[in-house]
A and B are shown apart, each in its own frame.
Chain A
Amino acid sequence: MTPPILLKGGRVIDPSRGLDHVADLLVVDGKIAAVGAGLAAPAGAEVRSVAGKVVAPGLVDVHVHMREPGNEDEETVASGARAAVAGGFTAVCAMPNTDPVTDNQAAVGFIVRQSVRAGLARVYPIGAVSVGQRGEKLAEFGEMVGAGAVAVSDDGRPVASSHLMRTALEYARTFGIPVADHCEDPTLAAGGVMHEGLVATRLGLKGIPAAAEEIMVGRDCLLAGLTGGHVHLCHMSTRGSVDLIRRAKAQGIRVTAEVTPHHLTLTDHACEGYETHAKMNPPLREAADVAALRAALQEGVIDCIASDHAPHAYDEKEAAFDDAPFGIVGLETAFAVAHTELVGGGVLTLPELVARMSTEPAKIFHLPGGTLAVGAPADVVVLDAAAQWTVDPATFRSKSRNTPFAGRALTGRALLTLVAGKTVHDLAAPAVS
């Protein structure tokens, strides 16, 4: 058992209980033991002054790609978990578009074992909706949940069949898990590589219209209404999607949604010069979309921020735009990008940001964490909200470097990350491994 840790004098932010005050936080036996003023250190405790820093529940990312099994050169559960804790995340949910696809209990169990073996962030598997993600036959949700899956998704590709989506939403109700959908009408998006708009016209690249996403958002909301199932909409990118979600929520439909840091901060102009690090799916949209997504996050129409961490080998992105793969890494920049742009830009307060990156995602995926309540697992992050740093992909713990934020000056980063009371990231002592 790890020794007790006493974090003294930090600004303790716990959105699960509406707390934001200067206090000490004591961790004993891997759990939150006390939060309050002037706590005494038990014998053998590690005492750290965190005055001027923020103590918050560990960040939770419901959408990452770990590439294991299948593309271990790009990321593994262990390397992804290391990137996660460096970014302040204590729990992440791994999408099932691995090779082979994580579509059965044995494959789900493998992810869980790799996570335990790494002993860093908690990596929760998401099982596939359909066998092989082929969009035909439902995967065995019950067995996958039994093995540790926390949701199902065919992310990377949409659930094209409305009938399959309907049955997935109905069937998932028994197990109390969300069905996370990558919203994209495959016939409208076919061949597209960036947002359909003026920039794509100038660059001569095939666009993906906003309607390709919105059609599926609309469909999924209708099917969630029909079935009473919980649909979780991945990486929302358009203002039209925001309107559809707002309407569905007003009708009491069980829909939740996430947005990535990059869709909150970048537009299709980032693709200028055929910048393949700005190629992702859904694509970066327009300024009006960014504004609507920010407002939706503020309002709670969009529930949480998720990174869609998508590692790719360096030489895969070293290609003509059409030929490069979609996706960017995000675990090690997500908090800082969101903090710099959203808190710095007056969109969210810091407690609101912590809620959108920890408490809310934990709640909608029914994960432990997202709270500093006494007795909860000690998944804690200490953030330096004033730390200024410049993104240097060479220093990433992730195996991949594909980020559009290289060279970007950011404010705020994780100093210390505890998972079940164990120090898994310590910026002051980077030798932790």
Chain B
Amino acid sequence: MTATLPNLGKDLTGLEHLTPEQIRLILDTAEPFKEVSERPIKKVPALRGKTIVNLFFEASTRTRISFEFAEKRLSADTVNVAATGSSVSKGETLVDTAKNLEAMRIDMVVIRHPSSGAAGFLGQRIRSNVINAGDGKHEHPTQALLDLLTIRDKHGRIEGLKVCLVGDVLHSRVARSNIWGLTKLGAQVGVCGPHTLMPRGIEELGVKFFPRIEEAIEWADVLNVLRLQLERMEKGFIPSLREYYRVWGVTPERLERSPRPITIMHPGPMNRGVEIDSRVADGPHSVILDQVTNGVAVRMAVLYLLAGGRPELADAAKRGGGGAE
């Protein structure tokens, strides 16, 4: 039976090159791991004896903590390295970091880096498994996987749903990973925001562009509202946060005109009153905190599968049996 199951390969650097079967495998493997976090003793021995380095070249709170919980709940030994603001050029640091990590015989690296392609670069140079926790504007695969899991939980399916990513698609790795994951699983994907924040050729990726939020709301079943980096205003992509909220903000008044309830998602951290109104973020259709909860389960699944864990043993793993040897 295992022979017919898809394998994830050595690294998880993005969703673009995964098959729908591989993506479903991760989501399905995450299911049994959800329960582990609900127990009083939140620990299973699946990755006992494995060493994992969380290598963060960019500031991150949520993703780093989520990975760390996932690792610890699987009993891995973890080390956090925050390599920000080095005077050495980033590229040189990365090559040398890779060689040094390899020399320490670690098992897995979770990397976040400001340069697109950095996770793949590292993966090509070390034998350890590499998991991309966000590389530049390229991909953030575990974020998209937890988004997919949350949508599936809420709607019972992904295929056929209309999911619209709202905001700064140009600079967003979350948007790219979501586009790949959603389209591969049969959802229709929309993007909405100012033209200045849309990458060239985005529609050629198979997505529908909505210049105005009202049109996106009329179309969508799910809105995934991206964080608007405050520096985008300084760099001249938008004139002001105030106007952004007026034109593209997701507000209860706008959502009221939708023919159906719309599921509201946000990868966090939110700018309340900029891209999303607080009443929407805290409203009945918001699944923003479910995303955070699912993040741990999805990351446990990814770690488990890359470490060689067999998906059908995930249930046993969470009961304290079979590991990933």
Contacts and interface: CB of A to CB of B under 8 A. Distances in A.
Task: Verify that A and B bind, or say they do not.
Answer: yes
Contact of B201 (A198, A320, A324): A198
A202 interface: yes
Nearest to B138: A204
A196 interface: yes
A324 B117 CA distance: 12
B95 A274 contact: no
Contacts, number: 80
Nearest to A206: B137
Nearest to A318: B95
Interface residues of A, number: 23
A201 B202 contact: yes
B180 to A, nearest CB: 9
A200 interface: yes
Contact of A274 (B90, B120, B204): B120
Contacts of B116: 203-205, 274, 320-322
A425 B115 CA distance: 43
A323 interface: yes
Contacts of A204: 116-117, 135-139, 173, 176
B94 interface: yes
B16 interface: yes
Given A319-B95, A320-B113, A202 B176 contact: yes
B199 interface: yes
Contact of B117 (A201, A207, A274, A316): A274
Counting chain A CB atoms within 10 Å of each CB, the highest count among B95, B117, B205 belongs to B117
A345 interface: no
Nearest to A193: B116
Interface string A304-347: 00000000000110111111100000000000000000000000
A189 to B, nearest CB: 14
A271 B16 CA distance: 16
A320 B90 contact: yes
A274 B125 CA distance: 14
B115 A320 contact: yes
Interface string B138-174: 1100000000000000000000000000000000010
Contact of A323 (B115, B120, B139): B115
B91 A203 contact: no
Counting chain B CB atoms within 10 Å of each CB, the highest count among A206, A209, A321 belongs to A321
B118 interface: yes
A252 interface: no
30 contacts: A196-B200, A197-B200, A197-B201, A200-B200, A201-B199, A201-B201, A201-B205, A202-B176, A204-B117, A204-B136, A204-B138, A205-B116, A205-B137, A207-B200, A209-B200, A273-B117, A273-B120, A274-B120, A274-B121, A319-B91, A319-B94, A319-B121, A320-B90, A320-B94, A320-B113, A320-B136, A321-B117, A322-B116, A323-B94, A324-B91
Given A201-B205, A203-B138, 16 more contacts: A196-B200, A197-B200, A198-B205, A200-B199, A203-B116, A204-B137, A204-B138, A204-B176, A207-B200, A274-B117, A318-B95, A319-B121, A320-B116, A322-B90, A323-B89, A323-B94
Interface of A: 196-198, 200-207, 209, 273-274, 315-316, 318-324
